Amino acid sequence: MLVNLIFRAHQPVRLREYTIFDIGLNSDYFDRKRTETAFRAACEDVYEPVAKCLLKILKANPGFKASFSLSGTFIGMLESGNKNTLNSFKKLLKHERIEIVSQTFYNSVSILSSRGEFEDQLELNMKKAKSLFGKEPSFMLNTSRVYFNDIPDSAKKAGITGIITHGVEKLPENAEPNFLFKDKKTKSSILFINKILSEDVIKRFRDKRWDEWKINEKKLNSWLASKKGDIVSILIDLEKVACNQENEGNIIKFLTAIAKLGKFRESFVLPSEARKKLKPSRDIDVLFPVLIEDSPEKNNPLGYNTMQQSAVKKIYAIESHVKKSKDKEVLENWRLLLDSEHFSSMAVNDETESPFSKTNKLYESPYEAFIYYMNCLQDIRLRLINNGRKVKKNANSKKKNPKKSKSPKGDRTGEVLPRSRRNSNKKPDRPR
């Protein structure tokens, strides 16, 4: 049994309390300060110690291998102020026994709404990995909670020939997760994450009441030996580690324990090596999006509530206008708004004890998350309209005849902007 360890890191950029009174006046949507504070804390608690620990393990244990999947948003945050952690990560990711796995740059579920954007984001992330760490990923980690044929298909267009994803158990043809699979059409390799083991690592590892506590290398070895299959993929989501484990010592202990597996045999493998070593057990063919992860909190993209649906619909409705506008800042802001975390924070349920998603600590309620999100969206629309005007004006002065650009307020939403702001950038009279 081979072990494929994948680390994943992403941090969402939190929205600030962007009210209707900000629309048209400032386009500062994000609570940079809060995001940065949270990020810095996470760096200190998790990212930095994990990176250092892995470097140590790599040095001491020549058999240890692992792969990393970092979102572009995460890397951006590292670059913009956490130089120490960035350097540790650079050192780590440039190591020959570490493979980089791509993912959507802005942690979006764009595959469901816009394949073009999905491919763009994969490419962006690959470019970033290349420029920063000098490696070209050939696998991607599917962070959305859905899977279907479009994913390997689109990924291939972006140059990705391998997918790591959740949930073989949920696919129509039920199968064991611990094998290498192949997409029917694109022949891309597919690896499935072993959900139970991943959860053991993230959630139960620290739990002393758990009857399997505590995990050491012998126990891990016997587990792996008892499992059916060729390869076990364990996903360690560093964001969840940060939430579930009070002190960093725990995940570090786990890592040292698992690293010692190298003693027993040559067991670690990178995704790209696995593809060469193993024969695909069978083909995977999923025509329609299938939900592949149990999400009790109802924040799965296929079961979005009306607020989530409408937010998704409206943000993607302006995609072509955003891209046509050639305004880099608008594009960047729009893409940051695609982060699926924004939509998950709008999840609602009827449980009396904790009616809102537990992971949602960003806003007071899903309703506020929705309100601020929609306000930001309105401002982006307004910027597009104003941009359109400027372009037209310039074009007219050069006596060219540009194609009349359609208003980005394409869908009839009934949202109204105050007249004063719709027409110009002029500051309207502030209410007293």
Partner 1 sequence: MLGWEFPPYSAGGLGTACYGLTRSLASLGVQVTFVIPKAPYTHKYNFVNLLNAEIDYDHILKLIKVQSELIPYHDCFSKESLVFGKDRKSCFEIYGKNLIKEVEAFARRVLDICKDEDFDVIHAHDWMTYLAGIALKKATGKKLVLHIHATEFDRGVIGINPHVYNIEKQGFDNADLIVAVSNYTKSVVCGKYGIPESRLRVAHNGVVLENVPKDYGVRVFPKDKVVLFLGRITIQKGPEYFVEAAKLVSDYIKNVKFIVTGSGDKLPWMIQRSAELGLSDKIVFTGFLKGDELKKMYTMADVYVMPSVSEPFGITPLESISLGTPVVISKQSGVSEVLNHCLKVDFWDTRKMANHIVSILQHKELESTLKHHGFIEVTNINWDKTAAKVKRCYEEVLGCL
370 binds partner 1 (CB under 8 A): yes
From 27, 161, 365, 405, residue interacting with partner 1 (rule: CB under 8 A): 365
Sign of CA dihedral 390, 394, 399, 401: negative
The residue (of 192 and 370) whose beta carbon lies closer to partner 1 is 370
From 62, 296, 355, 402, residue interacting with partner 1 (rule: CB under 8 A): 355
Report CA 30 to chain centroid distance, whole Å.
18
Smallest distance from partner 1 to CB 316, Å: 16
Q: Are strands 139-141 and 162-165 parallel, antiparallel or unpaired?
A: parallel
Smallest distance from partner 1 to CB 420, Å: 9
Q: How far is CA 270 from CA 50, 138, 231, in A?
A: 19, 11, 10
Smallest distance from partner 1 to CB 306, Å: 4
The residue (of 213 and 367) whose beta carbon lies closer to partner 1 is 367
19 binds partner 1 (CB under 8 A): yes
Alpha-carbon distance 89 to 92, whole Å? 5
Query: How deeply is 203 buried, as exposed, middle or buried, from its count of CB atoms within 10 A (0-12, 13-18, 19+)?
Result: middle
Residue 399 phi, psi dihedral angles, 5° rounding? 55, 40
CA dihedral of residues 59, 64, 69, 73 (deg, nearest 10): -20
Q: Give the number of residues written for the chain.
A: 432
The residue (of 257 and 385) whose beta carbon lies closer to partner 1 is 385
Q: Which stretch binds partner 1 (CB under 8 A): 4-12, 121-129, 317-325, 414-422?
A: 414-422
Residue 180 phi, psi dihedral angles, 5° rounding? -90, 135
Alpha-carbon distance 168 to 180, whole Å? 11
Q: Which stretch binds partner 1 (CB under 8 A): 244-252, 261-269, 274-282, 345-353?
A: 345-353
For the segment 141-200, give every residue that binds partner 1 (CB under 8 A): none
| Contact (Cβ atoms closer than 8 angstroms) between residue 221 and residue 192 | no
358 binds partner 1 (CB under 8 A): no
Alpha-carbon distance 119 to 128, whole Å? 14
Alpha-carbon distance 291 to 167, whole Å? 8
Structure tokens, 406: 């359609």
Smallest distance from partner 1 to CB 190, Å: 36
For the segment 372-391, give every residue that binds partner 1 (CB under 8 A): 374-375
Smallest distance from partner 1 to CB 151, Å: 28
From 350, 358, 398, 399, residue interacting with partner 1 (rule: CB under 8 A): 350
Task: Give 396's contacts (C-beta < 8 A, 6+ positions apart).
Answer: none
The residue (of 4 and 345) whose beta carbon lies closer to partner 1 is 345
The residue (of 403 and 414) whose beta carbon lies closer to partner 1 is 414
Q: Which stretch binds partner 1 (CB under 8 A): 244-252, 253-261, 369-377, 404-412?
A: 369-377
For the segment 295-314, give every residue that binds partner 1 (CB under 8 A): 305-307, 309-310
Contacts to partner 1 by CB under 8 A: 17, 19-21, 305-307, 309-310, 348-350, 352, 355-356, 364-365, 367-368, 370-371, 374-375, 414-416, 418, 431-432
